[in-house]
């Protein structure tokens, strides 16, 4: 019986030792193993970063969805504005260029057509048309009532002699008219003019403009109008109708019929 008790004790001791070995082995594995809470913390951090990246990517995508259409719209607006601004100018320049080209082509065609003649065509000659202009006919002046006659008569005046129409006498140094065989001239301040066409003597001289009076008239001007008007040195109006003068008869005398009116 004591032997059996020793054997039981020995068996229990061996079992205890084996259990202790198992515990120590587990303890060593636990010491070598990385703590569970550390591994869990790293996994949580990675999951947080991934989640953050996903959120940022989503935000970027939303931003691109808004920005890209906006940029496209701005580009389209810019293109429309540019076309609106430059299209009319380009159209105007094109029209001007087209017009100039058409004009040049037309001119070239005209020149070519003008310079190219068929051998059978004869040159066309245009004869100048003579145009004769009729001299203007002065209107007949309205009749002017004549004042009372101061003096009148008929006289033959030699070359270089002076006739006074205010007293009807011939002088060598004083008077109103004188001639030299080629022309008649006023003397002592008297002025002379060719008479106008009228129905009576006084109107023919009274209507002569002052600007037409002069100091010298060649006899050649009396061929078509032998009427001489005189403003005497005393301010009276006189009428002379030349019946002959040196250019017409070859002599030296001037023959005339005259009338002087009162002032």
Average pLDDT along the chain: 77
Q: What is the DSSP string of 60-126?
A: HHHHHHHHHHHHHHHHHHHHHHHHHHHHHHHHHHHHHHHHHHHHHHHHHHHHHHHH---TTPPPP-P
Report pLDDT for 110. Answer: 46
* pLDDT (mean) for 117-130: 48
What percentage of the chain has pLDDT greater than the value 90?
Answer: 41
| Closest by Cα among 148, 240, 155 to 193 | 240
How far is the CA of 61 from the CAs of 54, 70, 73, 75, in angstroms? Answer: 10, 14, 19, 21
Rounded to two decimals, the pTM is: 0.48
CB 260 within 8 A of CB 163: no
Distance CA(23)–CA(123), nearest Å, equals 141
- Rounded Cα distance between 46 and 44, Å, is 6
Which has the higher per-residue pLDDT, 98 or 262? 262
- Decide if pLDDT at 145 tops 60: yes
For 39, the token pair is 């591994």
pLDDT of residue 252: 82
């Amino acid at each position: 019986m004591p032997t059996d008790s020793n054997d039981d004790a020995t068996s229990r001791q061996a079992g205890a030792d084996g259990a202790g070995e198992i515990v120590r082995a587990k303890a060593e594995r636990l010491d070598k193993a990385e703590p569970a809470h550390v591994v869990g913390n790293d996994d949580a951090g990675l999951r947080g970063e991934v989640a953050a990246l996903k959120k940022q990517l989503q935000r970027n995508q939303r931003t691109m969805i808004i920005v890209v259409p906006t940029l496209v719209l701005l580009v389209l607006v810019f293109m429309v504005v540019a076309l609106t601004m430059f299209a009319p100018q380009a159209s105007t320049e094109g029209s001007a260029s087209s017009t100039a080209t058409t004009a040049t082509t037309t001119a070239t065609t005209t020149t070519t057509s003008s310079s190219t003649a068929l051998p059978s065509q004869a040159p066309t000659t245009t004869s100048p048309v003579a145009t004769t202009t009729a001299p203007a006919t002065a209107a007949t002046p309205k009749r002017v009532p004549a004042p009372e006659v101061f003096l009148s008569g008929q006289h033959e005046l030699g070359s270089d002699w002076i006739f006074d129409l205010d007293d009807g006498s011939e002088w060598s140094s004083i008077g109103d008219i004188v001639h030299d065989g080629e022309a008649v001239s006023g003397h002592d301040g008297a002025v002379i003019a060719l008479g106008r066409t009228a129905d009576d003597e006084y109107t023919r001289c009274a209507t002569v403009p002052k600007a037409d009076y002069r100091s010298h008239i060649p006899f050649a001007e009396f061929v078509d109008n032998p009427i001489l008007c005189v403003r005497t040195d005393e301010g009276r109006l006189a009428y002379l109708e030349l019946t002959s003068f040196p250019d017409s008869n070859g002599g030296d005398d001037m023959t005339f019929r005259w009338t002087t009116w009162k002032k």
